[in-house]
Amino acid sequence: MHILLWIAVIFMGFPLFYAALVSTQNNAQMFRLQMIPGDSFSFNLQTVLDRNIARLMFNTFAVATMVTFGKVVLSIFSGMALVYFRFPAKSLVFGFILAALMVPGEVTIIALFRLVALELGWGNTWTALVVPAVASPTGVFLFRQHFASITPELSEAAQLDGANPLQFLLRVLLPLSRNTVTALVVIMFIGAWNSYLWPLLIVTNPDLQVIQVGLSTLDDGVEIGRTWGPIMLGAVIASIPPIAIFVLMQKQFLQGFALTRHK
């Protein structure tokens, strides 16, 4: 079993290793499939810095943070409403949320582009990058299932003590949901960080662009065709934040999903 796990780790980790290797090479070394570090790291790094990768990283981090915060807050309130509040067609609403889980985002992206860019006029703004991404059927479903697993006696006791819904949420539900919140933060941050198609469509201003789209601009512009060293170095740099988020929060992430699965 351990051998199989190590094989899986090597298989999944090799692309990142190879990207890091190519980030030190020039095109000639890369096309020779040279499996040792090259001598072009300084040139590739200077090229990446000249293409303003710091701005791309800042934009991506800001957008991913805002999207994650919005998704978590909206998912918590939506999940709470589906469990603890009575309103007409609640089952139908939950059914629509389940249906939305099965619809790929690419199916609705044309209609979303027409709404955001043409009807609302939000093209080339951070609003266009953040607001459409805030709604999360995955997050709503996750918190709905988690809150439904919490014993109803806690809600009844809070009502007897005179706590309003917001107090019940802040003092009872959230302390019991730390691992679930962490799991959602990890998922949503990595998903927002890796977003490519929507920023490519809705943003043309390079000062607002995110790193996943901006990687194509890291070419040195000198050689014919792509200069892959700077691009691969940019890809390695872009992979650091989501990896760091997962490594730092992996314990709570795994506990959150274990609790959700068992409950």
Q: Please give the residue range of the domain that contains residue 56.
A: 2-262
Neighbour count for residue 133 (Cβ, 10 Å): 22
Per-residue pLDDT of the chain (263 residues; tens, 9 = 90+): 788 988 998 998 899 999 999 999 998 899 888 899 999 999 999 999 998 899 999 999 999 999 999 999 999 999 999 999 988 989 999 999 999 989 888 899 999 999 999 999 999 999 999 999 998 899 999 899 999 988 888 888 988 888 899 999 999 999 999 888 998 899 999 999 999 999 999 999 989 999 999 988 887 555 556 788 999 999 999 999 999 998 888 887 777 666 555 45
The model's pTM is 0.88
> 3-state DSSP call for residue 71?
helix
Residue 152: the pLDDT is 87
Structural domain total, the chain: 1
Element (H or E) spanning 24, and its range? none
CATH code of 185's domain: 1.10.3720.10
Residues whose CB falls within 8 Å of the CB of residue 165, separated by 6 or more in sequence, listed in order: 80, 84, 85
State both tokens at 257: 């999903």
